[in-house]
Amino acid sequence: MNITDRFLKYVSYHTTSDENTNLTPSTPGQMLFAQFLEAELKSIGLQEVELDKNGYLMATLPSNMDKRVPVLGFIAHLDTSPDSVGKNIKPSIVTNYDGKDILLNKEKNIVLQTSLYPEITQYKGQDIIVTDGATLLGADDKAGIAEIVQAMEYLIAHPQIKHGKVRIGFTPDEEIGKGADFFDVKKFGADWAYTMDGSEIGELEYENFNAASARVTFKGLNVHPGYACHKMINSMRIAMQYANMLPRHETPEHTQDYEGFYHLTSMNGTVETSTLNYIIRDHDHDRFQRRKKEMQHLANKINAEFGEDTATLEMQDQYYNMREKVEPVIHIVALAEQSMREVGITPQVKPIRGGTDGARLSFMGLPCPNIFAGGHNFHGRFEYIPVQSMEKATELIIKIVENAAKQF
């Protein structure tokens, strides 16, 4: 099976995760997809294929060498983002892309415009997989899964390529920050791993945000508006005041590179009670701590003005910058960088403005840089992926495995 057919099969599975179910995996479609993959991994000849009750799927490509070399791992996630529609995906392939706008949906006049997404023009002449403009595509991270499976199938079919033991792992619920919750690092047994979960071709990342979530709840007092003078306390107005106290330009839409932010992800409210949900991000650990303190400081200011317990802040750390754990074994980044060059890819070593399973896994004892999967515009209806980028990612996995066997 070629990688295009494999990918298109994978995106037919509805695997949107849901942070509100308190289940693992959080949605049944992820387990159905994992069961399909379990059968596929066995059929192509992988060994030690094991799917556990939480939807974590692991398998082994045995070494074909006499000497012991490091055990490598490759990891991708089963779920797609809950931030966009992920059901009934209708992909299509734009062959020999001409570098112009792409009409995704003629009936609804949905167009992928090069003026908004100019990076697509670098793929002129390639084959681009797009959506119909109604759903996300699912390249995040079904492209990563397809590339890993494709590479394993190739290595099994070409035993002349010498390699050590390779472990692969597919995880649920990465998109809701729970992908590493039940990942058994000891059972996985790799010396290090790579997540295939980046975006455009060439990306290689071993720095990511420190991350926390925050919920601020505001209490009010409802009174008939005709008799509310000096009595009503409108929690929604207090919530808006709090939101406006945060730095207005320290938001995702105003920041880039190493700049952190506060991101208001959702809000709801009545006169009596309102909530604001935030994520807090910064690459620098000290600035990250200061951002969390600022959230509490502003809650204290609200309480000083409107009364004790008007604002209640709940905050939870989500993951940390993997750089701390990867730098002591920086040779694993160098291996990926060298392998990229050998297959004709220009490495783009840069920080992730987000996080992956690899961030948490690195702090669990499995150093885990992130490599491109090839897609663009993740989580939205203008998501796309060049077929040639998936092919190169597959070639890169094979080259990393080959080079690791030669160098270590």
- Average the pLDDT over 125-147 and give the result: 97
- Euclidean distance between CA atoms 200 and 205, whole angstroms: 12
3-state secondary structure of 30: helix
- Predicted pLDDT at 88: 95
* Average pLDDT of the residues in 42-47: 98
Report the run of H or E that residue 48 belongs to, with start and end: strand 47-51
pLDDT confidence of residue 354: 80
Contact 36, 26 (CB under 8 A): no
d(CA 23, CA 35): 17
Q: Is the pLDDT of residue 27 over 80?
A: yes
Is the pLDDT at 224 greater than 90? The verdict is: yes
Of 323, 336, 335, 333, which is closest to residue 362 (Cα–Cα)?
323
Catalytic residues: 79, 174
Position 95 scores a pLDDT of 98
Measure the CA–CA gap between 299 and 369, rounded to whole angstroms: 37
Contact present, 313 and 295 (Cβ < 8 Å) = yes
Residue 42: what pLDDT? 98
- The answer, yes or no, to whether residue 384 has pLDDT greater than 90, is yes
What is the share, in percent, of the chain residues with pLDDT greater than 90?
96
Q: Which two tokens stand for residue 56?
A: 């974590």
Identify the three-state secondary structure at position 318: strand
Span 296-305, average pLDDT:
98
| Residue 408 scores a pLDDT above 90 | no
What pLDDT is recorded for position 356?
A: 76
In this prediction, residue 13 carries a pLDDT of 98
| pLDDT of res. 142 | 98
3-class SS at 37?
Answer: helix
Per-residue pLDDT, 406: 93
pTM above 0.75, yes or no: yes
Q: Which domains does the chain have, with CATH numbers?
A: 3-207+321-407 (3.40.630.10), 210-319 (3.30.70.360)
* pLDDT, tens only, 69-97: 999 999 999 999 998 899 999 999 999 99
The per-residue pLDDT for range 276-294, each reduced to its tens digit, is: 999 999 999 999 999 999 9
Looking at the chain, the whole-number percentage of residues with pLDDT higher than 70 is 100
Mean pLDDT score, 325-339: 97
User: Is residue 355 scored above 80 in pLDDT?
Assistant: no
Mean pLDDT score of the chain: 96
Q: Is 281 helix (H, G, I), strand (E, B) or coil?
A: strand
Instruction: Give, in degrees to the nearest 5, the angle at Cα 263 between 142 and 240.
Output: 140
Phi–psi pair at 208, nearest 5 degrees? -145, 170
